[in-house]
A = this chain, B = another copy of it.
């Protein structure tokens, strides 16, 4: 049921850059809407994180360590200066980007990334830095969070950055793969969601503050590799989505201090088919809110609230690396009533981030050497 309305428009070489802007649009029939998929820009090098500036421009990270601004016209800027040095290795590099809720006043931009050991050791961990975005420069950059311990691995860094309505900053982390057992202990940041203030200080009411052998930043634990997070628009609660191993991608609604089971309870098996745990239910751990078997390889997710797609308002849209899909979960309250697979045939590429634009359209970036920045807009009659 795909209508191909291919329109190739002018390729503009702007600002002396080699990047091209394109506008080929494809129309897709979904259950509730016709959607038009337009490539706004391409030539991004493994883009990972996407955030919109108040003027409609996008900030996009590239995993290799560059942060760029992409205009609504598709023009991609030169790298923004001042970005911290990253460990660009396997899944590591420059990861998410988020704007301060008071960006208009304070100009703070937050970046998550894999950071080398400042002491010179072989390990690395996910860190979060912030700086003030002035023109194309990030200024007064400071590291506000450093995952502990530094660990030698190129895998499972998380990480997504979201602000709660109260102004807390949630940082979602990974278990570093070979350190998966650490997800069950509280003396490290592996497999945790952490909650900090935007300046990096620890909220006094965090669940493990004052507990011996527990890191005070921890909000919830027993996670595997949490690469998606969003705040529910009505309840204000954090929702996360994490990669399972082979099977067992999970949506959770992390509560303070709760244990989400990894790796002692899981609906998945290891990539080679071997059993990590034969248990899906373990006393003291919380069941997922929703899960996928087989995995769709979840990346980020949003609660859609725009006017562009009225029938999708309140739905959870989950980007996936597998099948070039967005899973639309139709929610009634917190309950999933229905899942629709969107765009699987119309987008080619692993969907690495999904965001709602200031215009109400949906934007995704694809995880590729020639990564695309794609706009999804309404094409109803």
Contact = CB atoms under 8 A, between A and B. Distances in A.
Interface of A: 31-32, 247, 267, 280, 287-293, 311, 330, 332, 334-340
B31 A288 contact: no
Nearest to A334: B335
A85 to B, nearest CB: 41
A291 B338 contact: yes
A290 B330 CA distance: 9
Contact of A267 (B291, B336, B338, B339): B338
B287 A332 contact: yes
A53 to B, nearest CB: 34
A288 B247 contact: no
B337 A287 contact: yes
Contacts of A289: 335, 337
Nearest to A336: B336
Contacts of A32: 280
Contacts of A339: 339
9 closest residue pairs by CB, A with B = A287-B332, A291-B338, A31-B293, A290-B337, A335-B335, A291-B337, A288-B337, A336-B336, A287-B337
A311 B31 CA distance: 33
A32 B247 CA distance: 12
A234 to B, nearest CB: 15
A292 B337 contact: no
Contacts of A31: 247, 267, 293
Given A32-B280, A291-B337, A293-B338, 6 more contacts: A31-B247, A280-B311, A287-B337, A290-B338, A291-B338, A292-B338
A287 to B, nearest CB: 5
Contacts of A334: 335
Interface-centre pick from A247, A289, A291, A337 (highest chain B CB count, 10 A):
A337
Nearest to A311: B280
Nearest to A280: B311
A281 to B, nearest CB: 9
9 contacts: A287-B337, A288-B337, A290-B337, A290-B338, A291-B338, A334-B335, A335-B335, A335-B336, A339-B339
Contacts of A288: 337
A31 B336 CA distance: 21
Nearest to A247: B31
Nearest to A287: B332
